[in-house]
């Protein structure tokens, strides 16, 4: 019998074997192997997969040939039947019944040469069934051929779509890699620019500091020279008046108390019988020339109420050295005496920054409310130093403000904020000072998370 499944399987396997390499083209776009390695690997895979399929195709091809031969035999049989039918007369049932009975038999008991109506009907039925079978098989064969053509067309379209998709994917990946390289190059260039800017700022700060140091040294030398000349002049005047020799430095002269002078690295020599006002005057004058500001400032503590106004006026001085000396001296005075006038001085814009620093150094909690108001000031410097002073006063509201400074682009202030946070909180969370904005925000977020979890129970060390 004719086998339909052989034709179906043959058509399917023919489609598979006709496109093994086209389907493999998509692998080349998704791997980093070289073209030679891909070719060898694909050929090995195809050879392994095709070997058993070829054997099965050979068997199916042999089966197809057998079926073809069987169809030929059937066609031959049909032709023979057709020829036999054309030679033999067709006896209809009406003719057979019109004879008045069954056909006469020969004397030997055999049937007549003419076929009976039943035999003729059976022959016609067989002939018709055979023709229908041939027509069905021919139609099935045509259908399979059409399906194979359609499958081949779809396979080619699929291969073309996959090849195009692979090419598009490769182009997109290459574009992404190029964009990533350009982004990295831009980031490196920006970082290099930022490092150069910071190096330039550091160089400028060092140059400015050296310039200030030279100016301070020059002014100190000039002040020492003027003091020596003044002492010599007063000593001569005293000698001419009293007939005595040159007075010792620090003794009273008719000119007053101006002979008191702070020797470098030593406290100011003040006459034992000097009044508080005279003591304050001597210390204030000595503060402008001494190299040991701290020692002179500690001597001022006993006369804080008297020297405070003069020192606060020095905070508005255009001389940066005088402002620095006044700021340091005020930090050593009695907080109970100077805290109130300093808080009132916060209203003066020209001395706000220095006053905020001094209030933090004094350590008097009475300044907390006034300093807290500066945490929302529009000036970045005032906000920063207000937070720094509040931390010194152990005010918890300053911690979030310092954490916020970790995100800023000012590396110096970020370093100060980080060092203050680490010392005051005891936390050693890492922080990249020269990292990108995203990196700084990432590590600042870790500090924010810590404060969110521990802030309510936090106590200063």
**Per-residue pLDDT tens digits for 389-437:** 998 998 988 899 888 888 877 777 888 888 888 888 888 888 887 778 8
Percent of the chain with pLDDT strictly greater than 70: 75
Could you tell me the two tokens for 118? 């039943």
> Which pLDDT score is estimated for 41?
79
Same domain flag for 303 and 442: yes
Confidence of residue 127 (pLDDT cuts 50, 70, 90): confident
- Whether residue 231 is contained in a domain is answered as no
Whole-angstrom distance, CA of residue 360 vs CA of residue 355: 9
**The predicted structure's pLDDT at residue 87:** 64
User: Are 276 and 168 members of one domain?
Assistant: no
In a domain, 103, yes or no: no
Residues 407-440, buried b or exposed e (16+ Cβ, 10 A)?
bbeebebbebbbebbeebbeeeeebeeeeeeeeb
Domain-embedded: residue 96: no
Q: Which residue would you say has higher pLDDT here, 123 or 33? A: 123
Of 362, 379, 257, 368, which is closest to residue 311 (Cα–Cα)?
Answer: 362
Higher per-residue confidence, 68 vs 378: 378
Residues 181 and 62 occupy one common structural domain: yes
Supply 62's token pair: 């042999």
| Within a domain: 302 | yes
User: CA 33, 34, 38 angle in degrees (round to 5)?
Assistant: 75
Measure the CA–CA gap between 73 and 35, rounded to whole angstroms. Answer: 53
Q: Which of 189, 214, 230 is the last residue of a domain?
A: 189
Q: Within a domain: residue 194?
A: no
Tens of pLDDT, residues 172-189:
999 999 999 999 999 999
Q: Is the pLDDT of residue 347 over 60?
A: yes
Among 133-137, 265-269, 308-312, 418-422, the least confident range: 265-269
CA distance 207 to 18: 80
- Taking each helix axis from N to C end, the angle separating 304-314 and 320-330, rounded to the nearest 10 degrees, works out to 150
Q: Assess whether 443 and 299 both reside in one domain.
A: yes
Query: Quick check: 384 and 413 in contact, CB under 8 A?
Result: yes
Same domain? For 168 and 281 the reply is no
Indicate the residue among 174, 189, 204 that finishes a domain. Answer: 189
State whether 299 and 437 are in the same domain.
yes
pLDDT at 451 over 80: yes
Is residue 141 one of the residues assigned to a domain? yes
Residue 184: per-residue pLDDT: 93
Same domain, 434 and 301: yes
Looking at the fold, whether 142 and 272 belong to one and the same domain comes out as: no
387 vs 407: CA distance, rounded Å:
15
Average pLDDT for residues 340-344, to the nearest whole number? Answer: 91
Whether residue 309 sits in one domain with residue 441 = yes
Among positive and negative, which fits the CA dihedral 177, 178, 179, 181? positive
Contacts of 223 (CB under 8 A, 6+ apart): 288, 289
The arithmetic mean of pLDDT across residues 264-284, rounded, is 77
Examine the fold and report which residue of 140, 166, 189 is the final residue of a domain before the chain moves on: 189
Same domain, 333 and 437: yes
| CATH number, position 346 | 1.25.10
pLDDT of residue 231: 57
d(CA 31, CA 38): 9
Whether residues 173 and 315 fall in one domain: no
Domain limits at 153?
Answer: 4-91+118-189
The pLDDT, as a whole number, for residue 86 is 65
Task: Tell whether 100 is covered by a domain.
Answer: no
Report yes or no on 252 lying in a domain. no
pLDDT tens digits for 27-82?
Answer: 444 445 577 787 787 778 777 877 777 777 777 778 777 777 877 787 787 777 77
Tally Cβ neighbours within 10 Å of residue 10: 19
Number of domains in the chain: 2
Q: Three-state DSSP class for 349?
A: helix
Q: Residue 97's pLDDT is what?
A: 43
pTM above 0.75, yes or no: no
User: 185 and 284 share a domain?
Assistant: no
């Amino acid at each position: 019998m004719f086998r339909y499944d052989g034709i179906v399987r043959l058509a399917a396997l023919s489609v598979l074997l006709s496109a093994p390499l086209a389907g493999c083209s998509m692998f080349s776009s998704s791997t980093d192997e070289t073209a030679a390695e891909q070719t060898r690997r694909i050929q090995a895979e195809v050879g392994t997969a095709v070997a058993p399929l070829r054997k099965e195709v050979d068997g199916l091809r042999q089966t197809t040939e057998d079926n073809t031969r069987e169809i030929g035999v059937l066609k031959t049989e049909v032709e023979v039947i057709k020829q036999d039918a054309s030679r033999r007369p067709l006896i209809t049932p009406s003719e057979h019944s019109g004879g008045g009975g069954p056909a006469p038999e020969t004397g030997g008991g055999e049937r007549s040469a003419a076929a009976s109506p039943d035999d003729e009907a059976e022959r016609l039925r067989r002939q018709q069934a055979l023709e229908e079978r041939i027509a069905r098989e021919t139609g099935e064969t045509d259908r399979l051929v059409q399906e194979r053509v359609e499958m081949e067309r779809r396979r080619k379209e699929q291969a073309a779509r996959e090849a195009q998709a692979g090419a598009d994917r490769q182009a997109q990946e290459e574009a992404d890699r190029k964009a990533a390289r350009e982004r990295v190059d831009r980031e490196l260039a920006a970082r290099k620019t930022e490092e150069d800017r910071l190096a330039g700022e550091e160089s400028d700060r060092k140059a400015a500091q050296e310039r200030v140091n030279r100016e301070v040294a020059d002014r100190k030398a000039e002040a020492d020279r003027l003091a020596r000349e003044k002492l010599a002049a007063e000593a001569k005047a005293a000698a001419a008046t009293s007939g005595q020799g040159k007075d010792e430095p620090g003794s009273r002269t008719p000119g007053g108390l101006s002979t008191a002078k702070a020797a470098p690295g030593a406290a100011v020599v003040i006459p034992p019988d000097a009044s508080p006002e005279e003591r304050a005057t001597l210390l204030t004058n000595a503060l402008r020339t001494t190299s040991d500001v701290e020692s002179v400032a500690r001597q001022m503590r006993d006369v804080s109420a008297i020297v405070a106004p003069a020192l606060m006026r020095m905070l508005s001085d255009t001389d940066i050295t005088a402002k620095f000396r006044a700021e340091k001296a005020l930090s050593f005075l009695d907080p109970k005496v100077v805290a109130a006038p300093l808080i009132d001085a916060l209203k003066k814009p020209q001395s706000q920054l220095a006053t905020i620093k001094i209030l933090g150094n004094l350590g008097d909690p009475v300044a907390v409310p006034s300093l807290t108001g500066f945490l929302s000031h529009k000036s970045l410097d005032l906000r920063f130093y207000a937070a720094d002073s509040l931390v010194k006063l152990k005010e918890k509201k300053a911690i979030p403000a310092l954490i916020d400074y970790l995100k800023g682009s000012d590396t110096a202030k970020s370093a100060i904020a980080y060092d203050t946070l680490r010392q005051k909180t005891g936390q050693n969370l890492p922080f990249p000072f020269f990292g990108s904005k995203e990196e700084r925000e990432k590590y600042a977020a870790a500090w924010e998370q810590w404060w969110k979890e521990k802030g309510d129970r936090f106590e200063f060390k």
